[in-house]
């Protein structure tokens, strides 16, 4: 057990999917895993371990924002030996070609700040995905007939953003979508020699104002989970 994860030794798999919402973790575990067992409910941040095609998988909620994800990713890596961590979550589209329900596979993640910023000081570290995972995720998506967007995303510190000028610059420089966690996940994976990837579903759009309903989000997110699982064990 750790401060934030109540799982016993051996209850966390080496492959961990990390949605922000703990109830999305519950839905994904019940939908895609066999013999899913609740292994964590500390502070309501649900985590489940089961099997997918014979492979052990943990699906653990991370909460919203980089500080929250940093807590769970640190403990999963350092205390439970997680080797592969894949964020599965929603994002806001920032380019006209990125449509609602589209998949975005994040190659890099731009950010103003992360919990790791104090380590780098004056260095502008560039967090990036594990290439093997990224390549496998693209292949899995294409095999399913999907055409994912692959490129840079923006991990924001805030949900209620009051910097339209910053969003304009992100869009101007080709950033595909905005979310709140991937940059810190990629940084921690690099620090500890682990594999990490973020696979995102566009749930709303900063330019058009479109947004999925809660029911539409659940139906649209299934493909993302399956691609993450296929990529992890490719």
pLDDT tens, position by position, 24-45: 999 999 999 999 999 999 999 9
Q: Are 57 and 51 in contact (CB under 8 A)?
A: yes
> How far is C-alpha 139 from the chain's CA centre?
18
**Does the pLDDT of residue 102 top 80, yes or no?**
yes
From residue 183, how far is each of 38, 175, 206 by CA, in Å?
A: 28, 13, 20
What is the pLDDT, as a whole number, of residue 140? Answer: 98
> How far is C-alpha 50 from the chain's CA centre?
19
What pLDDT digit, counting tens, does each position of 165-176 carry?
A: 999 999 999 999
What is the pLDDT, as a whole number, of residue 216? Answer: 74
What pLDDT digit, counting tens, does each position of 49-75 carry?
A: 999 999 999 999 999 999 999 999 999
| Residue 82, H or E segment | none
Cβ neighbours, 10 Å, residue 58:
28
Mean of per-residue pLDDT scores for the chain: 95
What pLDDT digit, counting tens, does each position of 145-166 carry?
A: 999 999 999 999 999 988 889 9
Task: Find the catalytic residue in 41, 102, 204, 216.
Answer: 204
Question: What value does the mean pLDDT take over residues 208-226?
Answer: 84
Query: Is residue 204 annotated as part of the catalytic site, yes or no?
Result: yes
CA atoms within 13 A on the CB side of 123: 8
What is the pLDDT, as a whole number, of residue 214? Answer: 73
What is the pLDDT, as a whole number, of residue 162? Answer: 87
Distance CA 14, CA 11 (A): 10
**Does the pLDDT of residue 220 top 90, yes or no?**
no
CATH number for 15-232 (one of 3.40.50.1580, 1.10.3720.10, 3.40.50.2300, 3.40.50.800): it is: 3.40.50.1580
Give alpha helix (H) positions in 11-152: 22-32, 66-78, 117-120, 131-143
Binding-site annotation: residue ranges:
4, 20, 24, 43, 87-90, 179-181, 203-204
What is the pLDDT, as a whole number, of residue 161? Answer: 86
Torsion angle of C-alpha atoms 21, 65, 132, 51, degrees rounded to 10: -20
Binding-site annotation: residue ranges for phosphate:
20, 24, 43, 87-90
Record the pTM.
Answer: 0.96
Distance CA 228, CA 234 (A): 10
Binding-site annotation: residue ranges for a purine D-ribonucleoside:
4, 179-181, 203-204
**Does the pLDDT of residue 177 top 90, yes or no?**
yes
Cβ neighbours, 10 Å, residue 137:
28
């Amino acid at each position: 057990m750790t401060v934030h994860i109540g799982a016993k030794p051996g209850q966390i798999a080496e492959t961990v999917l990390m949605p922000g919402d703990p109830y999305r973790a519950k839905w994904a575990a019940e939908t895609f895993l066999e013999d899913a067992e609740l292994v964590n409910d500390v502070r309501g941040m649900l985590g489940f371990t089961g099997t997918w095609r014979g492979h052990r998988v943990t699906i653990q909620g991370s909460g919203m924002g980089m500080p929250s994800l940093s807590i769970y990713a640190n403990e999963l890596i350092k205390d439970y030996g997680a080797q592969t961590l894949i964020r599965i979550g929603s994002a806001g589209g920032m380019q006209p070609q990125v449509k609602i329900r589209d998949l975005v596979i994040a190659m890099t993640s731009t950010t103003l700040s992360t919990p790791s910023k104090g380590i780098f000081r004056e260095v502008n570290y560039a967090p990036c995905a594990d290439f093997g995972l990224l390549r496998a995720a693209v292949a899995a998506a294409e095999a399913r007939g999907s055409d994912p967007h692959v490129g840079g995303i923006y991990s924001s510190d805030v949900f209620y953003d009051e910097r339209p000028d910053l969003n304009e610059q992100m869009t101007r420089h080709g950033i595909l979508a905005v979310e709140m966690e991937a940059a810190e996940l990629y940084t921690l994976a690099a620090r500890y020699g682990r594999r990490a990837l973020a696979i995102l579903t566009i749930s709303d759009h900063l330019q058009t104002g479109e947004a999925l309903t809660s029911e539409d989000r659940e139906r649209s997110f299934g493909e993302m989970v399956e691609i993450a699982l296929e990529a992890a064990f490719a």
